Amino acid sequence: MAASQHPADPEADVLPGTDPAAVKRHRTLFRAIRRRRNPPLRRTDITVTDEAAVRRAVKAASLGNAMEWFDFGIYSYLAVTIGHVFFPSGNDTAQLISSFATFAVSFLVRPLGGMVFGPMGDKIGRKKVLALTMILMAVGTFAIGLIPSYAAIGFWAPVLLIFFRLVQGFSTGGEYGGASTFIAEYAPDKRRGYFGSFLEFGTLAGYVGAAGLVTILTTTLDSGAMEAWGWRIPFLVAGPLGLVGLYLRLRLDETPAFQKLEDQTYHSATEAASAVETSAKGDLAKIFRQYWPTLILCVALVGAYNVTDYMLLSYMPTYLTDELGYDDTHGLLILIATMVVLMLVINRIGVLSDRYGRKPLLMAGMVGFLVLSIPAFLLIKQGALVAVSAGMLMLGLSLVCLLGTMSATLPALFPTPVRYGSLSVGYNLSASLFGGTAPLVITALISVTGTDMMPAYYAMAAAVVGIIAVACMKETAQQPLSGSPPSVESKEEAAELVAAQATAPKF
C-alpha cells in the first residue's frame, strides 16, 4: 500500500503468475521490466504541502462536519420534545420511539447519497461535491424548523419531518467520506493523523454547540414555550451556519492528490477517455467487484465506531432522562463537560497515531469499550453526579481513541481513483445499519428486556467486531496514500526521500 514498501524479491511481482524459476534465470530482464513499469521516484512526483492551504482545507472540512453533527445533535437532544410536537399524544415511550425512528430513517438514504455523491466526487472533484452536500444539509435542517406541528396540520407534520430528514440523510451520504478524503489528501503523510483529528474535533464541537443551545433553551423556557416555538431555534440557526461553511469550501482549491490524478503523468489518454465514459453504475460495480474485502473491513470498523459514538453522544442524554430520571438540563451539562474534555485531548490522540500507528490507538478504544462499558454504566446508574461523570468519562476516553484516529485511517484504506466513492459507500452502509439505528435499537431493547444495562451490552458487542476489524487491517501511519505519490512538508524532506529511494515506489 505504501510507496516505500517492496516485496522481498522485487522481480517476483512483475507479472501475476510469473514463474519464480524464470525470474531466477533472468533476473536482469525482469528487473528492467519492473523498473519500466514503476519508474524511479522523482522530486516532481512528490507533493510538498502548503501549511496555510492545509489549514484552510482542514477548517472548511471540519466546519462542515461540525454543522452535520450540530444538526443530528439537536434532533437527538430534542427527541422527547419532537415526539410531542410531531406525533399523536398518548404513550410517551411510543412517542419517543417514533421520534427515534424518524431519526433513524435519514440513515436509510445515506447509502444512496454515498452511492451518488461518492463516485461523483471521484469524477468531478472533492470540492464541488462537498459544496453541494453543504447546501442540501443546510436547507434540510432549516426547513425542519419551519414545519407546523401535528396539532396544526395533523398527518402532514410527521410526513414533512420525515421528508426533510431524508434530505439531510441524502446529503450526509457524501459528507463524511468527502471531508475525510479532503483532509487526508491535503495533509502530509507524517501528520495525517493530527490534521485528520480536526474533523472529529468538528464532530464534538457540533455536538457541544447543539447541547449547549438546547440546554440554554430548556433552562430559560418552560415546557409549553419549548414545544410551541423554542425547539425551532436550533434548526433555524443551521441556515446561516450553512452559508458560512459553503463560503469557506468554495474558496478552496482541489486536493493535490486529485489534481495529480487528473494529470497526464498519472493517466494515459485512453484511461482518461474511459473514465469520462464510465457511468456511476459502472463506478459502483467496480467498487463492489474489486474492493469488496476492503469494503467489508470498512463497514466493520465504522459499525463498531458508530454504535459507540451514537450511544454516547446522541442517546446518553435520553438515557439519563428517561431511564434514570435525570433532569434534561443536568444530563446535557454532564455530556457537555465530557465532550469538552474529549476536545482538549483529541488532537493529541491524532499526534499519537502519527507516532505509534493507527492500530494501537484504535485497539485501545475498542478494548476500552469491551472492558469498561459495564463498570461505566454501573457507575452511571448510581445517579450521583460524581459517579455519572466518572462513568461518562470512562466511555468518553475510549471513544476519543477512535474519534482521533478513524478519520485518518478510513481514507487510507482505498486508492485515490476510488477513495471518495468507496469510503462513502462503506461508511454510509455501516452508519445506516448500525449507527443511526443505535438509539432506536437500544430504546426498544430496554423496553423488551426491562434491563437498563442494554447500552453497555450493545457497546460491548460492537467492540468485539471492532477488535477483529482492527486486527485484520494494515498499518498506514506515515505512509503515502494508496494510489498517490508521497506527500511531505518541505522541499528538503522531498529531496531526502528521493535520495533514500534505492528502488522505485509502486503507485
pLDDT digits (tens, 9 = 90+) for 312-371: 877 887 788 877 777 767 777 888 899 899 999 999 999 999 999 999 999 999 999 999
Phi, psi of 488 (to 5 degrees): -125, 175
Instruction: Please give the Cα distance from 340 to 466 (Å, whole number).
Output: 25
Out of 15-24, 268-277, 438-447, least confident range: 268-277
The residue ranking higher by pLDDT, 65 or 147, is 147
Residue 446 corresponds to which cell in the numbers above?
A: 430496554
Residue 324 corresponds to which cell in the numbers above?
A: 434514570
Average pLDDT over residues 461-471: 95
The residue ranking higher by pLDDT, 248 or 414, is 414
pLDDT of residue 9: 47
pLDDT of residue 75: 76
Write the single-letter amino acid at 124: I
The residue ranking higher by pLDDT, 296 or 2, is 296
Give the pLDDT band (50/70/90) at residue 382: confident
DSSP string, 441-459: HHHHHHHHH--TTHHHHHH
**407 vs 77, 316, 412, 495, CA distance in Å?**
25, 23, 9, 29
Residue 405 · residue 362 · CB < 8 Å: yes
Residue 355 corresponds to which cell in the numbers above?
A: 507516532
Residue 354 corresponds to which cell in the numbers above?
A: 502519527
DSSP bridge partners of 48: 488
Instruction: Please give the Cα distance from 282 to 408 (Å, whole number).
Output: 27
Write the single-letter amino acid at 246: L
Q: In angstroms, how far is the first alpha carbon of the chain from the final one? A: 8
The residue ranking higher by pLDDT, 94 or 314, is 314
CA atoms within 13 A on the CB side of 436: 29
Residue 369 · residue 459 · CB < 8 Å: yes
Q: What is the pLDDT of residues 416-436, one digit of tens each?
A: 888 888 888 888 888 888 876
Give the pLDDT band (50/70/90) at residue 279: very low
Give the pLDDT band (50/70/90) at residue 274: very low
Instruction: Please give the Cα distance from 306 to 432 (Å, whole number).
Output: 10
Percent of the chain with pLDDT over 90: 21
Q: What is the mean pLDDT of the chain?
A: 80
Write the single-letter amino acid at 463: A
Residue 147 · residue 160 · CB < 8 Å: yes
